Amino acid sequence: MLDKLQALKERFEEVGQLIILPESMSDMSKYAKLTKEYKDLEKVVEAYDEYKLILQNIDSSKEILEKEKDPDFREMAKSELDELRERKDSMEEHLKQLLIPKDPNDSKDCILEIRGGTGGDEAAIFAGDLFRMYQRFCEMQGWKLTVLDLTFGSAGGYKEIIATVSGADVYGMLKYESGVHRVQRVPATESQGRVHTSAASVAVLPEMDEVEVHLDMNDIRKDTYCSSGPGGQSVNTTYSAVRLTHNPTGLVVTCQDEKSQIKNFEKALKVLRSRLYEIELAKHNESVGAQRKSMVGSGDRSDKIRTYNYPQSRVTDHRINKTVYNLPEVMDGNIEEFISALRLAENLEKMQNSGLEE
């Protein structure tokens, strides 16, 4: 661990020199990346320096105990040594946490996509319930959620709804929600009172910028049409809604949230970049091998991750075998307990894979 920390300190000093070079300051993209790396490394280096000082003080206290004869001095040195050892253990755990490989996308905003799956009308209603759950969670976190596009279900809810979420550490928290969510309950349309199982899929994609995912505009076909949802008089009279088709992959993205065609175009481009990134990430994960696929943070939209059982008021996350019996609270946005447990499980997995956990 000390070798890793020393290497990071050397890189920190190197980045500090690179930031002030004229060629770095003239390239805003490069300067932004170096500044972010410097800030991330600074936390590690500060903790490392504090850890080294603790080790030095432990050596000094041991030396006093070996040489000092005065009982009062020895007692003081022994007391200080006990305290320093506790601080050393605590700091080692803190450093291990800091050394866990970070997902560079954790600090990004995200695209949230929810689609009704198997179950017809009930699946669309459940997709609506999930959207309200995330809406409440975003409110609690102080995040901004903006709907980009939606298709209503015939009996309520949504066949599909796409939104952007912006704020602090958005993707780092919501990424654990990607996958298939199952619901077990008596649908409103069920006259016999039988419990049905339906499903909705959730995809959480990091919002990528132009530098990270380059789009060739010659590969994109742009169509405009009249918006079909609520939004005032101009909705059905102007061609403000935008449909983008990425010819190489066949991906189609629509956005009709804004009255302005230009704004809808910009938002649709954001979604398209994120979906193209998801495709490339899936290819990369496949190439490194199934044995390295993370149980917790794979983010695969086809993984069955959670079941919501209404008759038992039970919610079970299948990735970490965590069950709670407070379904109404969970559906009201209280999902942080699951996210914290999933983040802890992923960090332990990363520590084991990086050799930090002995």
Q: What is the pLDDT of residue 195?
A: 87
Do 4 and 41 fall into the same domain? yes
End-of-domain residue from the set 242, 257, 287 = 287
**Are 89 and 130 members of one domain?**
no
* Helical spans, DSSP H, in the chain: 2-19, 22-26, 28-67, 71-99, 121-141, 170-174, 261-288, 327-331, 336-353
Q: Provide mean pLDDT across the span 129-144.
A: 96
Helix (H, G, I), strand (E, B) or coil at 355: coil
Residues 205, 299 within the same domain: yes
Q: Could you say which of 230, 264, 287 is where a domain stops?
A: 287
Task: Tell me if 104 is assigned to some domain.
Answer: no
Within-domain flag for 161: yes
pLDDT at 100: 74
Instruction: Specify whether 319 is located in the same domain as 298.
Output: yes
- The CATH code of the domain that includes 239 is 3.30.160.20
Indicate whether 170 belongs to any domain. yes
- Say if residue 288's pLDDT is above 60: no
Residue 119 sits in a domain of what CATH number? Answer: 3.30.70.1660
- 201/144 same-domain check: yes
* Interval 65-81: pLDDT, tens: 888 888 888 888 888 88
Q: How is residue 234 annotated by DSSP? A: G
Q: Is residue 105 part of a domain?
A: no
Query: How far is the C-alpha of 326 from the C-alpha of 334, rounded, in Å?
Result: 9
**179 and 304 both lie in a single domain:** yes
Asked if 194 and 329 sit in the same domain, the reply is: yes
Task: Please tell me whether residue 105 adopts helix, strand or coil conformation.
Answer: coil
Q: Do residues 186 and 256 share a domain?
A: no
Provide the pLDDT confidence category of residue 234 given band limits of 50, 70 and 90: very low
Q: The domain containing residue 67 runs over which residues?
A: 1-99
Q: Which of 287, 303, 332 corresponds to the end of one domain?
A: 287
Query: How many folded domains does the chain comprise?
Result: 3
Q: Is residue 169 part of a domain?
A: yes
* Residue-wise pLDDT tens digits, 19-74: 998 888 888 878 888 888 888 889 889 998 999 999 999 998 888 888 888 888 88
| pLDDT band per the 50, 70, 90 thresholds, residue 126 | very high
Give the pLDDT of residue 211: 55
Closest residue by Cα to residue 133 from 273, 299, 298, 315: 315
Same domain, 177 and 312: yes
Contact 257, 146 (CB under 8 A): yes
pLDDT band (50, 70, 90) for residue 294: low
In terms of domains, do 48 and 136 share one? no
Task: Give the torsion sign (CA, 63, 69, 72, 73).
Answer: negative
Same domain, 283 and 347: no
* Closest C-alpha among 285, 253, 284 to residue 268: 253
Determine the Cα–Cα distance for residues 320 and 334; give it in Å rounded to an integer.
18
Q: Are residues 187 and 319 in the same domain?
A: yes
